[in-house]
């Protein structure tokens, strides 16, 4: 299992010293978990992906301090969230959040949706998913896709808004709302996953 790296604002703690778990620290935390899973792979004979998707969707995604006040609890929730592989597991996680802390804010809802997208990216071999101004950029791990013929047919079919540039897929699209953006991206990566599984 591989995890998406998040920059997480955790809020000011009583010590007045811990305000943020930044990109580098959280990346190291996730790397430790990956290493543990790879060690267990020998015993369990499970497949472990060797890349961490770079996902930048330009949306606010975090567990805010005003929702979960305790720093240790928030870190524990992030770690647990990073281990979830399926939408069913994410649904169970969200139900536990509501039971413990009440209805969650928009930032948590977005975090759960992005985690679902991240899992599809891993299964599809997408290691780059980035939203810029009026465009979406997608890259595949080692610039490889298991069914290139189906991918090119998909691009050709949607050539009015999908192009290939420097080994990346570029999709021209603008959004008014974050949830519209996430819904579109999830459908998109699901379609790419289906293409991967289509017999060539």
List the domain boundaries for the chain: 54-197
Residue 36 has pLDDT above 60, yes or no: yes
Closest CA to 85 of 42, 49, 137, 32: 49
Encode burial over 124-136: b for 16+ CB neighbours within 10 A, e otherwise.
Answer: bbbbbbebeeeeb
pLDDT tens digit sequence for 55-70: 888 888 889 989 999 9
Token code pair at residue 8? 């997480």
Q: Model confidence at 30, in pLDDT bands (50, 70, 90)?
A: low
Sort 176 into a burial class: Cβ within 10 Å, 0-12 / 13-18 / 19+: exposed
Average pLDDT over residues 153-169: 93
Token code pair at residue 14? 């009583």
Average pLDDT, rounded, for the chain? 80
| C-alpha–C-alpha distance, residues 70 and 113, integer Å | 23
CATH of domain 54-197: 3.90.1150.50
Average pLDDT over residues 61-85: 89
| C-alpha–C-alpha distance, residues 42 and 24, integer Å | 28
Average pLDDT over residues 75-79: 88
Closest CA to 82 of 116, 59, 42, 47: 116
Token code pair at residue 54? 């770079």
Q: Can you give the pLDDT at residue 10?
A: 34
Q: Can you give the pLDDT at residue 38?
A: 57
């Amino acid at each position: 299992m591989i995890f998406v790296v998040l920059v997480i604002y955790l809020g000011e703690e009583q010590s007045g010293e811990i305000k943020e778990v930044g990109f580098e620290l959280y990346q190291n935390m996730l790397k430790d978990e990956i290493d543990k899973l790879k060690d267990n792979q020998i015993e369990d004979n499970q497949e472990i992906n060797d890349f961490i998707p770079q996902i930048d969707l330009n949306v606010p995604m975090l567990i805010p301090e005003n929702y979960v006040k305790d720093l240790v609890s928030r870190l524990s929730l992030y770690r647990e969230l990073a281990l979830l592989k399926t939408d069913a597991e994410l649904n169970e996680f969200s139900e536990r959040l509501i039971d413990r802390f009440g209805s969650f804010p928009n930032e948590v809802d977005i975090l759960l949706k992005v985690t679902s997208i991240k899992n599809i990216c891993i299964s599809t071999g997408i290691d780059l998913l980035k939203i810029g101004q009026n465009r979406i950029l997608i890259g595949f791990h080692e610039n490889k896709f298991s069914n290139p013929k189906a991918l090119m047919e998909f691009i050709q079919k949607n050539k009015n808004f999908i192009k290939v540039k420097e080994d990346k897929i570029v999709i021209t699209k603008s959004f008014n709302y974050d949830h519209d953006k996430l819904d579109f991206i999830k459908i998109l990566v699901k379609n790419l996953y289906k293409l991967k599984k289509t017999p060539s």
